Amino acid sequence: MMPLGLSFYTFQAVSYIVDTYKGTMPVEKSIKKVALYIGFFPQITSGPIVKAHNFFSQLEKEHPFKMQNIIDGGQIFLMGVVKKTVVADRLGRAVDAVYAVPEVYSGITILMTTIAYSIQLYFDFSGYSDMAVGIGKCLGYDLGRNFNMPYIARNPAEFWRRWHISLSEWFKEYVYFPLGGNRKRFGRSCCNVLVVMLLSGIWHGAGWTFVLWGFYHGVGSIVHRLAIELMNRKNWHVQSVAGKKIGNAASILLTFLFVNTGWILFRADSLDTALTVMGRILTMEDGIQYIYVYTIIFAILLVIFSLYVILRKNGGASYIFLDYSKFSSWFFLWTVLLLTLAFFYSGDTAFIYGGF
């Protein structure tokens, strides 16, 4: 039996201790305020992780209930509910079925399942984060964004700037920088990256699959750094606009392939299962065909929205707030509510990151 949210409030406690030790924020004399920061209930089980100086600066302000905060926070919360109950939980049915006995399923089925798990994990965790951010917004607190369209990242480093942003920032500030960050020689900075990613893997779980997953991402980040270093030395740069667009598209696709392969280690319950999954995908073995239609639907929708973010938002996503003075906003809201009630999965499901 483990205390609820142990790792997340430990992260926040470390943030407070280190920040006060370094003198970047004053020591808080009220134990109630420290307890509120460490145990702020909307995000205690799965984040986002809020740094001490960001939270305590908000505590100095008054937090009266404002209708606009409740409206905006409610919309963010609803977005999280849709992500979790409609997308993640439905995809989880297929993922759990295939990963239970991967040796009986065909290679194409397992390939589709790995894609389904990538989408499930993203929508499950970002859905929880949206719920936490939404509740915090209702109470007048800004917990910050925890995800920013990570599957349009062009390299491993950018992926970690978009995925679980609060955890990535925490490791950067409290582990990577104290180890020397980029201030040391190139080889030392690469070692620092590897240490951070290994620690991230161990934090997710004590099994060898998580250790290898962290090592895998660490090596991937180092290879990307070496490639950039080589390109800069040789002055290998694409000059044409068309070439840059093709290069960006290829980078996004390769990065997704890299991340998706890593999720196999992340999802598998053992190394044997991970090797079985990878082997059947590479050899396209015959077996039971189980192409879950929701995988195709949600993958297409995610691609369409990703293209919209790239073309219209310059690669940065943001929450969409409705203007309730317009009929179209009410129509959109009720449509989303009705579709959610129609398609949500009512089975027994838990938040994936609640187990880390």
d(CA 27, CA 5): 24
Any bridge partners for residue 105, and if so which?
288
d(CA 70, CA 241): 44
Cβ atoms < 10 Å from Cβ of 212: 17
- Burial (CB < 10 A; 0-12, 13-18, 19+), residue 63, is exposed
164 near 146, Cβ under 8 Å?
A: yes
- Catalytic positions are 204
C-alpha closest to that of 225 among 188, 186, 251:
186
Q: Which residue has the tokens 């389904």?
A: 116
Q: How far is CA 26 from CA 13, 19, 22, 74, 121, in A?
A: 15, 8, 10, 34, 38
Cβ atoms < 10 Å from Cβ of 108: 17
Residue by residue, what is the 3-state secondary structure of 309-352?
A: HHHHCCCCCCCCCCCCCCHHHHHHHHHHHHHHHHHCCCCCCCCH
What is the Cα Rg of the chain in Å? 22
d(CA 22, CA 10): 18
